[in-house]
Amino acid sequence: MKVLLQRVSEASVTVAGQQVAHIGPGLVALVGVAEGDTDKDARYLVDKSVNLRIFSDDAGRFNLSLLDVRGELLAVSQFTLLADTSKGRRPSFIEAARPEEAETLFNSFLKMAKAAGITVASGLFQQHMLVEIHNDGPVTILLDSRP
């Protein structure tokens, strides 16, 4: 399982012309579920995401987490994070979980994030989305539950 975190001043998701999610300061988590991922992978990445110290303290150092700053989280399912581009010119997504499995694990990720005590919004699974991200910094960090 992979999560691409982006620290944002705000972000939103629009589907078919309707805004379905919006957050203020916090993190956007683009979530890719791989074949064989489990709740253990989701739990690890949620814990890492909400506790990663990538927000600045008064001295301008990365010392604060999403929990510390009481930020919000916008999670968006994104199977393309599992792209294998090692051969040819067309990415292969063979490592991505089947949609039914990915949706279940993505929903587990959302529930675990909410249980951490933060405000959580999400895009719509398997929908064409317009994601507007105001990357703050910019700060973008890739997390992977596999070594």
Instruction: Find the catalytic residue in 6, 55, 78, 109.
Output: 78
Instruction: Find the catalytic residue in 6, 38, 62, 80.
Output: 80
Instruction: Find the catalytic residue in 79, 106, 125, 126.
Output: 79
**Is 80 labeled as catalytic in the residue annotation?**
yes
Q: 98-126 burial, b if ≥16 CB within 10 A, otherwise e? A: eeebbeebbebbbebbeebebebbbbeee
**How far is 133 from 142, CA to CA, in rounded Å?**
16
**Is 14 labeled as catalytic in the residue annotation?**
no
Q: What is the DSSP string of 38-72?
A: -HHHHHHHHHHHHH---EE-TTS-EEE-HHHHT-E
Question: Is 19:13 a contact under the CB 8 Å cutoff?
Answer: yes
**Is 93 labeled as catalytic in the residue annotation?**
no
By annotation, the residues acting in catalysis are: 78-80
